[in-house]
Structure formats: C-alpha cells, structure tokens
A = this chain, B = another copy of it.
Amino acid sequence: MQKAKVYVTLRESILDPQGKAVTTGLHKLGFDEVQNVRIGKFIEITMDGGDESRVTEMCEKLLANYVMEDFRIEMEPGK
C-alpha cells in the first residue's frame, strides 16, 4: 500500500475569488500582514501498487482541470 499526495493549484493567471474572500476575512480579523491568499486542493490517494505515471494520468483525466489548474505529485512509500 502506498500513498500519493497531489497538490492542485489554480494557475497564476486565474482569479481566485475564494482566496480573495479569505484575504478580506483575515484582514477583518486583524491579520493586516496578509497580502494574498490562494486556495487549492490537497488530495491524498491510498493505492495498492501503481506509480507516479498512473497518478499523473489520474490528474489529467479527473483530479485537475488542466485549462485552469496545475498539479504537483509527491509519492510516499507505504508502510
């Protein structure tokens, strides 16, 4: 059993309204040092076999929207 961690983030050029709302929220709470917030997804996949190329395929087919999002994969050996 092994684990893959996938980080899906909006591309730099894409507006992030959820992040903007959180920035405003943090400012209202007094965190004035916050300049910008961007929110992505963190996906943990537990797999029975398979390697990074399989996870890349999963990202391309389902997990990430390639038009708007980038993804990064980290493989973790299983216990």
A9-B44, A63-B22 known; A58 vs B39 contact (CB < 8 Å): no
One complex includes copies of this chain to the number of 2
Query: Given the complex of chains A and B, what is the CA–CA distance between A50 and B30 in angstroms?
Result: 12
When the two chains form their complex, are residues A31 and B43 in contact, meaning their CB atoms are under 8 A apart? no
When the two chains form their complex, are residues B31 and A38 in contact, meaning their CB atoms are under 8 A apart? no
Q: Counting CB contacts under 8 A, is A26 at the interface?
A: yes
A7-B42, A9-B44 known; A49 vs B37 contact (CB < 8 Å): no
When the two chains form their complex, are residues B42 and A9 in contact, meaning their CB atoms are under 8 A apart? yes
Q: Counting CB contacts under 8 A, is A29 at the interface?
A: yes
When the two chains form their complex, are residues B45 and A36 in contact, meaning their CB atoms are under 8 A apart? yes
The 6 tightest CB contacts between A and B, nearest first, are A42-B42, A33-B50, A36-B46, A40-B42, A35-B46, A38-B44
